[in-house]
Structure formats: structure tokens, C-alpha cells
Amino acid sequence: MIKGQNVRGSVLDDETRCAHYHKEIDRIAIKFYCCQTYYPCHSCHEEDGCGSAKVWPKERFDEKAVLCGGCGHELTVQEYLDCQSKCPNCSTSFNPGCSLHKHFYFET
């Protein structure tokens, strides 16, 4: 459990860093659309997930799907895409490089 949410995968700490992404600013988990389960990254889901990864469709971007590892705030997909790599609740910085991987999680 991280900030009250079950986060699966190779989690290393209580801010959602994992064996694959563990820099100071790597502090989000993504709820995978296919299994509605939080994982720190797509690699964690590949290793320990449901086996049928599906991305969030655009028409569901208003649903909570991103967990801030800093404070536990859940962001909708749209809030996350618009947040400029900073939690709107606690202002903790997220890794801006994650935007390079958004196609693993969200319809583009």
C-alpha cells in the first residue's frame, strides 16, 4: 500500500519508485485501464500485470488514473496531462520524461 492505494510491481519505496524508474522525480503510479490496478510503470505491468495491457481511451480522460507518490492525490488522466509535471495538490515535481511514454498508458 502506498498512500492508501495498492500499487503492484517492483516498487522500491513509498513514493512509487520502482526497479525500472527510481530517480528522485519518479514518483507517480499509473492505474492501468485494462486491470484498474496501479503500477509504477509499463515495465512493472508487463512483469506482474494482467497480460493484456490497454490504454485509457480519450473519452475516459476524466477518470482518476494517476497517483502522486508525494501526497497520494489521485489525478484524472487529463489533470495529469495538463499538470506540467507537478502535482496540483502538493506541488511535488514529477519526471517530465514520463511524457515520452504516455502512449503506453493513454490514447494519443
Query: How confident is the model over 56-89, as pLDDT tens digits?
Result: 999 999 999 999 999 999 999 999 999 999 999 9
In a domain, 56, yes or no: yes
pLDDT for res 37? 96
Q: What would the pLDDT profile of 5-60 be if each residue is shown by its tens digit?
A: 999 999 889 999 999 989 999 999 999 999 999 999 999 999 998 889 999 999 99
The pTM of the full predicted model, rounded to 2 decimals, is: 0.93
User: Is 4 inside a domain boundary?
Assistant: no
Q: Is residue 13 part of a domain?
A: no
Which contacts qualify for 53-59: CB closer than 8 Å, 24 or more apart? 53/104, 55/103, 55/104, 55/105, 55/106, 55/107, 56/105, 56/106, 56/107, 57/33, 57/107, 58/106, 58/107
Q: How many domains are there within the chain?
A: 1
pLDDT of residue 98: 87
Confirm whether 65 is domain-assigned: yes
Q: Which domain holds residue 53?
A: 28-104
